[in-house]
Amino acid sequence: MLEFRNPHYIIPPGSSKQILSHPLKKGKAVELAIFQDHRYAFFFWSQWNRKQKFLSPPCLISLDWHQDLCFPCETEKELLSSLNRSDDGEVAFFCWAKLAGNNDGHILSAAYLNLIGNIYVHCRQGKYDQDWEDEELIDIHGNKHTIKKFRTFEELEEHILSSNEKKVYFDIDLDFFTFNNPYNGKGTKFTYMKVKEIKNLLSFERPLIHWTLERLAGWTIATEPEHFGGLLKSNRILETINSIYFKPGLFTNNCDWKQK
């Protein structure tokens, strides 16, 4: 059993989180978490669900180069079933040591425990038509989770705006903003989305973004610099996101949403 010097503030290694006022709901708060390894999102979804005591978990909207939709095997299901989610130290250690190290199993592991609801992923990974077909997962309690994958932002936007989802976890892996990505097996050198394109895509004025922020229950960002061509390049895109939404900036005193 691990013992922590401060058991009241435990987060996974290398992670940072900040409590912010809600972007569109007066008197409400929301947390944003940033980390390198994408699997650590599992920790924050678990913690937020426990603290908020949701009657039904928020859906997940994820922007990622990869799909990250590997189903848990029977051994992983046993590990998940025995996880003590009331112990942040145990959950943090579980994310680090027992979730798939290639960061492709955290989403459906979270769905298996009903930490997230339906799943909507806009990604670049998928060679064949069947890679883009809808799937479903039955969780430990017998609930059905629909899994949808989208080739374009517009397809995701059209579907989400017609949905009945009430709460959202917004999830971004920064390698989403690469096109050719040799680390991910495409091309011989990295190519990137232009800053102007990123700002247009994530603008408050985009219907999908406004819809998402209106229902925001938590925001996770994975930097994964090795998938982005290096730490500095990854941080530049993180700063672009920071500049779109926040002033004076994340993890500074009095940080707030620009649109307020």
pLDDT at residue 245 above 90?
yes
d(CA 107, CA 121): 10
pLDDT at residue 85 above 80?
yes
What is the mean pLDDT of the segment spanning 216-245? Answer: 96
Instruction: State the Cα angle at 61 between 259 and 228, rounded to 5°.
Output: 85
Query: Where residue 1 falls among pLDDT bands split at 50, 70, 90?
Result: low
What is the mean pLDDT of the segment spanning 200-213? Answer: 97
Which of the two residues, 58 and 3, has the higher pLDDT score?
58
pLDDT at residue 66 above 80?
yes
What is the mean pLDDT of the segment spanning 233-256? Answer: 96
Q: Which helix (H) or strand (E) holds 19?
A: strand 16-21
Is residue 149 a contact partner of residue 109, using CB atoms and an 8 Å limit? no
- What's the count of helices (H) and strands (E) in the chain, helices before strands? 8, 10
Q: Give CB contacts under 8 A, 24+ apart, made by 195-202.
A: 195/240, 198/237, 198/240, 198/241, 198/244, 199/240, 199/244, 201/153, 202/241, 202/244, 202/245
DSSP 34-68: EESSGGGHHHHHHHHHHHHT-SSPPEEEEE-SS--
Is residue 173 a contact partner of residue 222, using CB atoms and an 8 Å limit? yes
Structural domains of the chain, ranges and CATH numbers in brackets: 16-257 (3.40.800)
In this structure, is the dihedral angle defined by the CA atoms of residues 65, 83, 14 and 118, taken in order, positive or negative?
positive
pLDDT computed for residue 128 by the predictor: 86
Number of neighbours of residue 20 by Cβ within 10 angstroms: 19
pLDDT computed for residue 259 by the predictor: 86
DSSP symbol at 70: P
What is the mean pLDDT of the segment spanning 131-140? Answer: 97
d(CA 74, CA 253): 46
Burial of 207 (0-12, 13-18, 19+ CB in 10 A): exposed
Percent of the chain with pLDDT over 70: 100
Place of tokens 């994310």: 95
pLDDT at residue 103 above 90?
yes
pLDDT at residue 213 above 80?
yes
d(CA 116, CA 107): 8
**Span 5-43, pLDDT tens digits:** 887 789 999 999 999 999 999 999 999 999 999 999 999
Read off the tokens for 235: 């941080």
What is the mean pLDDT of the segment spanning 199-206? Answer: 97
Place of tokens 């397809």: 155
Kind of pairing between the strands at 29-35 and 16-21: antiparallel
Q: What is the pTM of this model?
A: 0.96
Place of tokens 């010097």: 5
Cis check: omega of the bond before 248, within 30 degrees of 0: yes
What is the mean pLDDT of the segment spanning 171-184? Answer: 95
Closest CA to 50 of 72, 69, 31, 37: 31
